[in-house]
Structure 1
Amino acid sequence: MTGFDRARWLALLIPFGLLAGAYGSQYIGGLYPCEMCWWQRWPHFAALPLALGAFVIGGPGARKALVAAAALAILVSGLIGGFHAGVEYGWWEGITTCSSTVTPGSGKDVLDAILNAPLIRCDVAPWTLFGISLAGFNFLISTLGAIAILALLRKGGNA
């Protein structure tokens, strides 16, 4: 397996794995995302089709460009995660809005949902492991993963 092949697979598996973990923690673990959690997901959503394109596009230059673009999207998610983790740890102030789990319905249903919905704060980590929050793990995995992808691309190999 060439360095390019490794880079291409990392560019696909990192956002897929992190999004699977995010949705698993949300729908299985009950950890609803705050606004900043959603911000971290969007670049991974962008990275997936870019990485998939690197498996189906014909020219080697285009494949490398797609992998590099996916790596940059992954890096953006990691940097957002780093900012979010800093907010959770109290290193700096974050945004002033938070999220709730309200879904549309009738007027009375929406009001009841608003009044009963949990408030998801951006400055409180709902879960940690070894003192690292989910945003912190996204920062570590995405940033290091993007650096690894870009290093593998620089190292070369056949596209």
Structure 2
Amino acid sequence: MKTFPDLVNDPRLAAILLALASVGTLASALFFQFVLDYQPCVLCILQRWPYVAVVALTMASLALRRSNRAVAALLGLSGLALLVGAGIAAFHVGVEQHWWAGTSSCGGAAAATSLEALRAQVMAAPVTRCDEVAWSLFGVSMAGYNVLVSLALAGFALTAAKTNYRR
């Protein structure tokens, strides 16, 4: 059984694990969307993009055969992408908890000044609102779990990057 130091010391193994974790997270989101019929809001969709970036970066790092520094740099970029994802997810948690307003594409918009403007606003509103928790487990929403997963994977990626860049 590999230990944590073994995993971060091997940049290619770290890249494979990050790619698998990212694909698994994306697969989970798609399972909720297409099998369980939980339609994502705009912020839910935005939270998927950092995982797509991580898959692309880790696949690129696996194509590099001899350069541990280049692989480490791509792992570092993956970690930064995951931190961005954690930020988006944390913002989404705040919107769900009504700590702050979401973006205009989340359904919050300025007051309409005419009946036509109100009609256009209603017709353009998203079907799934960002400020409603669609699913939760133990009081934590999907966005909340995404914060935790993104931070854990970012920590792993950045640790692997730092360890292997020094070599």
- Per the normalisation by structure 1, the TM-score is 0.79
- Is contact 1:71–1:150 with CA below 8 Å preserved after alignment? yes
Counterpart residue number, 2:158 = 150
Corresponding letter in the other structure for 1:51: T
- Is contact 1:128–1:134 with CA below 8 Å preserved after alignment? yes
Counterpart residue number, 1:81 = 89
* Identical amino acids, percent of aligned pairs: 35
Match of 1:60 among 68, 92, 104: 68
TM-superposed deviation, 1:96 = 2.9
TM-superposed deviation, 1:35 = 0.6
Say which SS state the counterpart of residue 147 (structure 2) adopts.
helix
Say which SS state the counterpart of residue 39 (structure 2) adopts.
coil
Say which SS state the counterpart of residue 101 (structure 2) adopts.
coil
The two structures, once aligned, show a CA RMSD in angstroms of 2.6
Corresponding letter in the other structure for 2:18: A
Matches of 2:76 and 2:55, distance apart in 1: 12
- Is contact 2:33–2:39 with CA below 8 Å preserved after alignment? yes
- Is contact 1:78–1:142 with CA below 8 Å preserved after alignment? yes
Counterpart residue number, 1:133 = 141
TM-superposed deviation, 1:56 = 1.5
Corresponding letter in the other structure for 2:45: W
Q: Which structure has the greater CA radius of gyration?
A: 2
Runs (4+) off by over 6 Å: none
Corresponding letter in the other structure for 1:78: A
Match of 2:104 among 71, 96, 99: 96
Counterpart residue number, 1:21 = 28
Matches of 1:97 and 1:155, distance apart in 2: 40
Number of aligned pairs? 144
TM-superposed deviation, 1:155 = 3.3
Matches of 2:42 and 2:21, distance apart in 1: 21
Match of 1:10 among 8, 14, 17: 17
Where in structure 2 are there 5+ consecutive unaligned residues? 1-5, 108-122
TM-superposed deviation, 1:129 = 0.4
- Per the normalisation by structure 2, the TM-score is 0.76
TM-superposed deviation, 1:152 = 2.9
1:46 maps onto 2:57 in alignment: no
Where in structure 1 are there 5+ consecutive unaligned residues? 100-114
Say which SS state the counterpart of residue 120 (structure 1) adopts.
coil
